[in-house]
Amino acid sequence: MDNGSRTVKVVHLSDTHTFHKQYNVPTGDILIHTGDFCRHQGAVKDFAKFDAWLKQQPHPYKLVVLGNHDMDTYIPEDEDLGKMLPSASHVFQKEEVTVMGLRIFGVSWNASMIDLELPKGLDILLSHDPPKGILDTAIGNKRLGDPVLRNQINVSQPRYHFFGHVHEAWGQTVVDWSKPQMRQITGPGGKSVTGPVEEGANATHFYNGAQANARTTELVHEPMVIEIRVPEGRHLESSVPLAVQDPAPAADGAPSQSTLRNRRKKGDPAKKAAKGTQATQVDDEPQVVHKEDRACGPDSPSSPAAERKAAALAVPAEAPSKAEKKARKEKGQACKKKGFDPVPWIGLVVFWCSLSVFLWYQSSKPRAVADSW
């Protein structure tokens, strides 16, 4: 935070669908994730992996709302969501908190929108789905925004609204409430939102931060970084605790988005080098299965894989003689012969014999003589 200008740097992510490790997340004061960090409906392993990743991020405050992919069929509104992600400062259900002097209201996917009533004077609103008609256009020009949320925003008019859900509508826009028709000004598309954002007297800045593509197969957008001014006269206090930090930093930094795109175009050099290796790994590491091992299996005592594994674990000895090499070759050939399955061939022979007998029988039948009268 810049104490001179009283601005808070917010980093916004959404709809990462377990691909969040691919990010070099920018530093900031508040890390916000607006849902769909899971790939499958509320998978427990996805929650655990996301919480471990969240713990490694250096941001003092980490705020999360749950999306539709983070729900295991249904989570009641009175559920303590903080227990699901202990590394977060706060996991919203449908309530308001204060972070570094900013009033923030968050609503998760499972919260009922029927009785939603947003307070006025909010600095930031967090939700997973967008409001109706604002950055909510999906494939086929379908509007997937929530009408109740839009009506509440029309009344409360928060300064900022962060959300996701509709992958195709990533971007930013500003709505000027002082205009009779609530004029919508679309921001630049296809670029990350960085630096201070100008604020109108009666305007709401909307940010759809869905990072995944429409098919949810990869990340195609960078995290959004927005600097928000703290109103004058506010105490820089927080009603939520500081986020849990991992004392042990990650061993290797994650590649940037540009690096990932270059790898997809040119191919990963590490993967290309791994293709040419013929080394066999033992113990708990993956093992390369050679062609001659497929018939009898790599665990067969007579297979070359078993011999290679034993040789790797054994003390290096003298080079094998010609007789030993010949014996190993014969074992490999015998292993191939054992892999021959005669059943399909027997069935094919029986079929052709039966067909031949049937055709012979049909051709040997006496033909009926037509009545010439």
Predicted pLDDT of residue 3: 53
Predicted pLDDT of residue 57: 93
Q: State how far the alpha carbon of 246 is from the alpha carbons of 38, 52, 54, 86, 243, in Å.
A: 21, 9, 9, 12, 10
At residue 372, does pLDDT exceed 70? no
Asked whether 20 and 53 are in contact (CB, 8 A), the reply is: yes
At residue 137, does pLDDT exceed 50? yes
Q: What is the 3-state secondary structure (H, E, C) of the chain?
A: CECCCCEEEEEEEECCCCCHHHCCCCCCCEEEECCCCCCCCCCHHHHHHHHHHHHHCCCCEEEECCCHHHCCCCCCCCCCHHHCCCCCCEECCEEEEEECCEEEEEECCCCCCCCCCCCCCCCEEEECCCECCCCCEECCCEECCEHHHHHHHHHHCCCEEEECCCHHHCEEEEEECCCCCCCEEECCCCCCCCCECCCCCCEEEEEECECECCCCCCECCCCEEEEEECCCCCCCCCCCCCCCCCCCCCCCCCCCHHHHHHHHHHCCHHHHHHHCCCCCCCCCCCCCCCHHHCCCCCCCCCCHHHHHHHHHHCCCCCCCCHHHHHHHHHHHHHHHHHCCCCHHHHHHHHHHHHHHHHHHHHHHCCCCCCCCC
Predicted pLDDT of residue 261: 52
Q: Which of 89-93, 151-155, 316-320 has the lowest mean pLDDT?
A: 316-320
* Pairwise pLDDT comparison (369 vs 367), residue with the higher score: 367
Domain extents for the chain?
Answer: 7-179+200-229
Predicted pLDDT of residue 296: 44
At residue 23, does pLDDT exceed 60? yes
Q: How much is the average pLDDT of 145-174?
A: 93
Chain segment 200-218, per-residue pLDDT in tens: 458 999 999 999 998 889 9
Predicted pLDDT of residue 187: 40
Nearest to 39 by CA among 68, 7, 81, 8: 68
pTM metric for this prediction: 0.62
Share of the chain above pLDDT 90, in %: 36
Q: State how far the alpha carbon of 265 is from the alpha carbons of 41, 259, 274, in Å.
A: 31, 10, 18
CA pair distance 112, 110, nearest whole angstrom:
6
Predicted pLDDT of residue 186: 41
Residue type, 231: P
| Residue with token string 């022979």 | 349
* Pairwise pLDDT comparison (22 vs 373), residue with the higher score: 22
Which of 77-84's residues contact partners 24+ apart within 8 Å by CB, and which partners?
77/110, 77/111, 77/112, 81/108, 84/47, 84/51
Predicted pLDDT of residue 288: 38
Predicted pLDDT of residue 40: 72
Asked whether 63 and 92 are in contact (CB, 8 A), the reply is: yes
* Pairwise pLDDT comparison (41 vs 46), residue with the higher score: 46
Which one is the CATH code of 7-179+200-229: 2.60.120.10, 3.60.21.10, 3.20.20.60, 2.40.170.20? 3.60.21.10
Chain segment 297-349, per-residue pLDDT in tens: 444 454 555 566 555 555 555 666 777 777 777 766 665 555 556 667 788 88
Chain segment 216-262, per-residue pLDDT in tens: 899 999 999 999 999 988 888 999 989 887 755 444 444 454 554 55
Res. 123 pLDDT band, cuts 50 70 90: very high
Residue type, 103: R
Q: Which of 33-47, 136-150, 277-291 has the lowest mean pLDDT?
A: 277-291
Predicted pLDDT of residue 260: 47
Q: How much is the average pLDDT of 276-293?
A: 39
Nearest to 164 by CA among 135, 124, 139: 135
